Amino acid sequence: MTLTAERSAVHAELQRAALGLPLRRRPVEVRATDRLKTLEGLLTLDQPAEGGWQAGLPRLRPEMLRRDRAFMDLGVQVLVNPPDVLSVPLLLEWRERSEPGDQGSGYRTADVTYHGVMGVPHEELLPQLEARLAGQFRAVRGLEARLPGLPGEAALTETTGFAVDVMRTLAALRPFWDPATRTVALAGAWAYARCGWSAPVLTDAGAFLEALHAQSADMLTRLLLAALPGPV
Q: What are the Cα distances from residue 7, in Å, to 66, 94, 219?
A: 26, 20, 30
Residue pLDDT, tens place only, 4-17: 444 444 444 554 45
Residue pLDDT, tens place only, 56-113: 444 445 666 677 777 788 888 888 889 999 999 999 999 888 766 555 668 989 888 7
Q: What is the CATH number of domain 3-226?
A: 1.10.3290.10
Residue pLDDT, tens place only, 115-130: 677 778 989 999 999 9
Question: Up-side HSE of residue 112: CA atoms within 13 Å toward CB?
Answer: 18
Domain ranges for the chain: 3-226
Q: Which pLDDT does position 104 carry in this prediction? A: 60
Please tell me whether residue 94 adopts helix, strand or coil conformation: helix
Q: Which pLDDT does position 103 carry in this prediction? A: 55
Q: What percent of the chain has pLDDT over 70?
A: 69
Does pTM surpass 0.95? no
For CA atoms 158, 11, 75, 48, give the dihedral sign: negative
Q: Between these two residues, 7 and 134, which has the higher pLDDT value?
A: 134
pLDDT at 23 over 60: no
Task: Tell me if 111 sits within 8 A of 122, measured CB to CB.
Answer: yes
Q: Which pLDDT does position 223 carry in this prediction? A: 92
